[in-house]
Structure 1
Amino acid sequence: MIKGIGLDIVELPRIKQIIERTPRFVNRILTERERAIYEQLAPHRKLEFLGGRFAAKEAYAKALGTGIGGECELQDIAILPNELGAPKLYFKNELTNDFISITHTEQYAAAQVIILV
């Protein structure tokens, strides 16, 4: 049974502007393990990765029904690849059984999360 569904989309040019103005934005969004992956990417992939992770975290908070803040902070959520490269959700360092899909184009990154009971 589905407990929650979350969907979010971000404009990559807007994310790029934020990074240029506020370099700390990357550290605010990504966990330490996510940043290790981010730092190994080519510049254009960094933007896609960060935008996708931001959208995914927002989507997860929406699916939880809490939004970001209080019970669910950006640093509480990590999206890390499994052995095949598919994204897996971690909440407060615990692997969840929730479903996540992340996609991006040149202009947008989007994510959907489904939480099951």
Structure 2
Amino acid sequence: MISTRAPLARACAAGVLALGLSGCGGETTTAPGGAASATGAPTSSSGSSGDAAAPAGAKVSANTASEEEITAALGRAGVSNPGRWAEEVVEYRPYPADDPNLTKLRDNLAKYNPGQETTDKIVSALTS
């Protein structure tokens, strides 16, 4: 009689490992060839905004990027505590598309007195 317990146990262990990796900040995606990738580095798939894998210095949309994408962009821009500021960016959406200076965002950030340098860094990482 052939035992199916060993392959089943391996399959379960692989599933638990995949869930554990994704819970630790890793991201599992499917590459164009169908292969899975769990590198922990942000990736993007076709059809998305592409902001997750933005190169250093690339701006993300204040209106459409996820909070995680905004956090990453703010971190690349040198903003201290980027997660907190990303929350504020998301909270005050939407921003006028015809305002490249993100005046509405600047006005709302001013309530928290972040300082001109921090505000400039935040805005430098974003597009409307």
Query: If the length of structure 2 is used for normalisation, what is the TM-score?
Result: 0.26
Task: Choose between structure 1 and 2 for higher RCO, CA contacts under 8 A separated by at least 6 residues.
Answer: 1
More helix by share: 2
Q: Whose strand proportion is higher, 1 or 2?
A: 1
